[in-house]
Amino acid sequence: MTNQRHQNKVAITVILFTLFVVMTGYGVLLPVLPFFVERLSLKPEIDQESINFHIGALTAVYPFFQLIFAVIWGKLSDRLGRKNFIIMGLLGFILMQVLIGLSTSLTMFYVARIIGGIFTSAVIPISNAYLSDITSKENRSKVMAWSGAAISTGLIAGPVAGGLLSKTDLHINITMGIFHLDRFSVPFFALIIPGIIALLFVLKILKSKQNMAVATLQIVPASVNRPDGFSLLILLSLSFILQFSVASFETVFSIYAKNDLLFNAYQISIGFMLCGLIMAVFQPMFTSIKTKIISEKGKLLAGFFIMAIALFIFPFMKPYILVYSLIILFAIGGAMIAPQLTAMVSLQDDSNTAKNLSYQTSVNSVGQILGPLIGTWLVGKQVLAPFILSSGLLIISVLAIIWTKRQKKQLVFFTKN
């Protein structure tokens, strides 16, 4: 039993590192994307509207293919085991970084993002399913919070790496046929190293066929738990709104900060760094107090409300200190929500954990597709519009949670010790 627990702790560490690496790869692109699009554009005189379109499309094409393939990988992993699909996702991640680093056109950039979306769509839901397999129900929220912290930490490291490494003094300018290597390639090639390390850890440490009975040394019958009265449909709807708002903000912030606030790539990366740092620190903190101060439903309610207020106020604030303060407030709200939603989805049906988590990943992908596309379109029409739209959707989430509470006649937000 003690040996099994040690193995599980090591496996959890490997999974968390894998999630960190993959999300670093996502975050590394965020602060440099507007500049990258300008560099890869075939038209030197490309207008800002076209640049905004490609920023939104390049952001959205990645989760679009995650949407298509996440459920496929999730269902297969429930039957065939988790390890091989995590390996596949890491190989796709490494290939994506190579292709982006060598891109000489927007077409090559799109191809790289598509390949990445197809294969890395396996990593997050199946990694979380693996964590669910080796974790008891009592500790599920805590482990999912650490998963969220690993993801958020990756979102810290990614933008910082992208902002700093793209400003390197290395004078690289190598052309190899249709491929090109220069200073913009450095952040992406740098990520290949941790990607390979994560791959080796997964190959060496994770078991090929992990299942709940073996991992937890318990026989747990399949059941539909519907934790706290939330159906899977409601949880997926809340996940969509959360991801739509976050993805829209991330994409629009890069454009808004560059054009209206006159931030450079490094200042933009600070905003992403703060967001990821707060998410990483506060997610485990909020899950640790779930039975002492505020209920899970109360945290969802408070989180969505805080995010709505932060987004509504955001475009009216120009001083960088206030801008960064609102980003922190926005991230605190997200930290209250994300691990709770993932844990609640994982508890819906013990025999279909990966499938349900892949549904959540697909729904998240829809939000990550529509958020950037609608956000970049709206910001070109009216700078306030994307912020107001997202804050409105977050308020709808607040109302939906209140309605669910009333339906279950559970109006008390706070729990007793």
State how far the Cα of 282 lies from the Cα of 340, in Å rounded to an integer: 12
Residue 416 lies in a domain: no
State how far the Cα of 82 lies from the Cα of 350, in Å rounded to an integer: 15
User: Which residues have a Cβ under 8 Å from the Cβ of 223 and sit 6 or more positions away?
Assistant: 349, 350
Q: Which runs of consecutive H residues, i.e. helices, occur in 260-352?
A: 265-288, 296-313, 320-346
Q: How many domains does the chain have?
A: 1
CB 272 within 8 A of CB 24: no
User: Higher-confidence residue: 44 or 380?
Assistant: 380
| Residue 172, amino acid | I
| Residue 14, amino acid | V
φ, ψ of residue 349 in degrees (nearest 5): -150, 110
φ, ψ of residue 317 in degrees (nearest 5): -110, 125
* Averaged confidence pLDDT in the chain: 79
Residue-wise pLDDT tens digits, 250-304: 888 888 887 788 787 678 878 877 887 888 788 888 777 655 567 777 888 999 9
CA dihedral 383, 385, 387, 392 (to 10 degrees): 170
Q: Token digits for 412?
A: 């008390």
Residue-wise pLDDT tens digits, 210-243: 544 334 333 333 344 455 557 888 889 999 999 9
- With a cut of 70, say whether residue 312 has pLDDT above it: yes
CB 252 within 8 A of CB 315: no
CB 249 within 8 A of CB 310: no
DSSP, collapsed to helix, strand or coil, labels residue 174 as: strand
Q: How far is CA 304 from CA 147, 242, 253, 361, 393, in A?
A: 20, 8, 19, 19, 9
Specify the CATH number for the domain of residue 136.
1.20.1250.20
Residue 414 lies in a domain: no
Q: Token digits for 60?
A: 């959205």
Residue 238 lies in a domain: yes
- Residue 413: per-residue pLDDT: 38
With 0-12 / 13-18 / 19 or more C-beta atoms within 10 angstroms meaning exposed / middle / buried, residue 136 is: middle
Q: Which runs of consecutive H residues, i.e. helices, occur in 315-416?
A: 320-346, 353-381, 385-407
pTM score over 0.85: no
Range of the domain at 210: 2-407
- Residue 68: per-residue pLDDT: 85
The mean per-residue pLDDT over the stretch 112-129 comes to: 89
Residue 412 lies in a domain: no
Residue 417 lies in a domain: no
Among residues 179, 157, 199, 182, the alpha carbon closest in space to that of 25 is found at 157
User: Higher-confidence residue: 304 or 376?
Assistant: 304
The mean per-residue pLDDT over the stretch 25-52 comes to: 72
Residue 234 lies in a domain: yes
pLDDT band at 183 (very low <50, low <70, confident <90, very high): low
- Residue 411: per-residue pLDDT: 37
